[in-house]
Amino acid sequence: MVQKALDLKAFRVLTAFHHGGYGSSKSICRLVHFLSHFKSPVTSFFFEQPYYFDYTPSQVNIKLLKGRFKSEVLDESFYISFLASDQISKEIDIDVPTKLLAASLFPYGEIMLQAKLQSTKSHQRPLILHPTGSDIWCIGYQMLKRVKWLMEHPQVDAIVTYSEQFANEIKQYFGVSKEISICPPVPDTNIFYPISQEERLRRRTQLGYSEDFFIISHHSNMRRVKCPSLIIEIVRRFAKKSSRPVILLMCGPLQLNILKEMNIALFEPDKFPPFKTSHLSNLTIVWTGYTNTVENFIQIADVELNCSLHDSFNISLSEAMACGVPVISSDIVGIAPHILKAECGYLFRCKKLNYEQLNLAMFEEKVNYFDLDSAVELLAYLEQNPSNAKKMGEAGHNYARETFTYEPFLTLLDKL
């Protein structure tokens, strides 16, 4: 069906984006792989060697934009950006039908636009910008006019992002008048899928957890906007009410300053898990750090918990849905309408912040804009109603499999 709708062999795709194991970077990596598997030539530009996915020369042509640069006139990072756009423009000028994709507006969207402007074939090379959540809470506040200039530039042919909510935020905050296409991220179903009850029990036993343990998963790039300390506070309150042993699995990179703010006494045991705490007799908090096998932890969990102050979508929740795990999240995430429609979990209230407030909140010592008591009650409900939790997990898996596909993006490429 996809091959009939679009002849992917007729053109190639140039992409530029940050390569990481979490969030939008991982989602774009999956998209790149999807296109390459249809034998569409894909060239991706990175500042560092990709490490999360198993790239091969036959699938993706990798170009590194890293080197030693010195200038007495320009700042090094500024200099690198200009040299990167120059390298990409040479690739754009190759006489092959080409589409350009840049995920994250700065520096990659700006680099790709500058490269297109330098090209002699700029009018024949459609450029798609893919703004992400961090473009807003990390950059937009400081570079409001620059972001608007970039997205409204006449050489930008399309803007695509993950959710209606985020598209409306972009239009409202930056005053963008262009149409914004919606293409939800797609979990890799070869990795994120439900496992059998027998396999779940086997993996739990291997880690020292019986079926009686209530396991809560939280996987993300744990920046301040994800409020990891409040995740712990919710689980602490829940554990005080629970009669079962409670495990909180926290998977993902965590900055040391945030680790200190979490106010937990970590120590290193002799065996896995690498870190844990015992503030309460029935609660163990496990932080795995960065892992490229995060699915192994999600698949054995009873619930995925999220406490974001802002998300353009929240890919972690879609991955949990694909694994057949019910989800509980703050209600500001872009995936929220999907959670409600799929009936695969619950949302608790979070105060809606404008971007000035959101960026200021990143520097507050104590941030609590959430209805934490409601989150605790929702966890307790799932614990006490395992049959309902199982139905929600199954509903989430079916919904993710049918709804989160690459069709919207292929339609956009066809349109361009």
The DSSP string of 100-157 is EEEESIIIIIHHHHHHHHH-TTGGGS-EEEE--HHIIIIIITT-HHHHHHHHH-TT--
- SS3 state of residue 237: helix
Give Dmax over CA atoms of the chain in angstroms. 69
CA distance 375 to 338: 19
Ranges in the chain annotated CATH 3.40.50.2000 = 2-182, 197-403
CA distance 90 to 373: 56
Q: Among residues 355, 208, 364, which one has the least CA distance to residue 273?
A: 208
The tokens 């849905």 sit on which residue? 321
| DSSP single-letter state for residue 95 | S
Give the class (CATH, top level) of 2-182. Answer: alpha beta
- SS3 state of residue 281: coil
Q: Among residues 259, 292, 245, which one has the least CA distance to residue 22?
A: 292
pLDDT at 303: 98
pLDDT at 274: 45
Helices (H) and strands (E) counted in the chain, each on its own, are 17, 13
Tokens representing residue 27 in the block:
């989602």
CATH of domain 197-403: 3.40.50.2000
CA distance 350 to 59: 42
Q: Among residues 404, 350, 359, 34, which one has the least CA distance to residue 182?
A: 404
pLDDT at 2: 47
- Cβ atoms 178, 149 nearer than 8 A: no
Tokens representing residue 178 in the block:
């262009």
CA distance 318 to 130: 19
Question: pLDDT for 213-239, tens place per residue?
Answer: 999 999 998 888 899 889 989 999 999
The alpha carbon torsion through 378, 167, 20, 365 (nearest 10 deg) reads -60
pLDDT at 268: 42
CA distance 193 to 249: 18
Peptide bond into 273 cis (omega under 30): yes
Rounded to the nearest 5 percent, the helix, strand and coil shares of the chain are 45, 15, 40
Q: Residue 398: exposed, middle, or buried by beta-carbon count in 10 A (0-12, 13-18, 19+)? A: middle
Tokens representing residue 272 in the block:
């896995």
pLDDT in tens, the chain (416 residues): 444 455 656 788 999 887 777 778 888 888 888 888 876 789 998 877 776 666 665 678 888 876 555 545 545 566 566 678 888 999 999 988 999 999 888 888 999 999 999 999 988 999 999 998 888 877 766 788 888 999 999 999 999 999 999 999 999 888 899 999 999 999 999 899 999 999 999 999 998 899 999 999 999 988 888 998 899 899 999 999 999 999 999 988 876 666 666 655 444 433 444 444 445 678 888 888 788 789 999 999 999 999 999 999 999 999 999 999 999 999 998 999 999 999 999 999 999 888 888 888 877 766 689 999 999 999 999 999 999 999 999 999 999 999 999 999 999 988 88
